[in-house]
Amino acid sequence: MDAQTLVDERGELWLALAPLWLEREPRETDYASMVAVIQRHDLTVRELEWVFRLELAPVLSRQQMSVAGEWRSFDDYKLMKQLVAHNLRLNGWRRKSWALFSGLTTMMTRHRWNELMGRVLVERGEVP
């Protein structure tokens, strides 16, 4: 898959979910916006979990853990470049390694993710 295809297929979703890693707790409007974007992407909860764990967390957790990093907001262009570069390399042993360590990279945002997935399930008329 090339960079433009990644941006076309995942860019909106990645940028919508990035606030899960910000310093502040997401507001109601943030969650509502995330749910709306998720609904447009027609992914299962399982597929969304892998987007969270493999496509986003390895990049965004580094930003979150950086002492020098600013994590009150993101530069969307810079973030997209980092996400595309990561995801272009995400195959074979890299995918397996990130899957193995995804518990560590998602640890600080797991509570927010669980809240979001509960809202997605309610929106879809499923039991959370």
pLDDT tens per residue across span 48-101? 999 999 999 999 988 765 544 455 567 889 999 999 999 999 999 998 999 898
Average pLDDT rounded to a whole number, residues 96-107 = 90
pTM, 2 dp: 0.88
Q: How far apart are the C-alpha atoms of 56 and 52, rounded to whole Å?
A: 5
The domain of 13 spans: 3-124
Give residue 103's identity as a one-letter amino acid code.
G
Average pLDDT rounded to a whole number, residues 10-16 = 96
48-51 contacts, C-beta under 8 A, 24 or more apart: 48/117, 48/120, 49/117, 51/10, 51/13, 51/14, 51/17
Query: 115 vs 25, 99, 111, 112, 124, CA distance in Å?
Result: 11, 21, 6, 5, 14
30-46 residue pLDDT tens: 999 999 999 999 999 99
Q: At which residue do the structure tokens 């409007």 appear?
A: 29
- What is the structure's pLDDT at 67? 46
Q: Say how many domains are in the chain.
A: 1
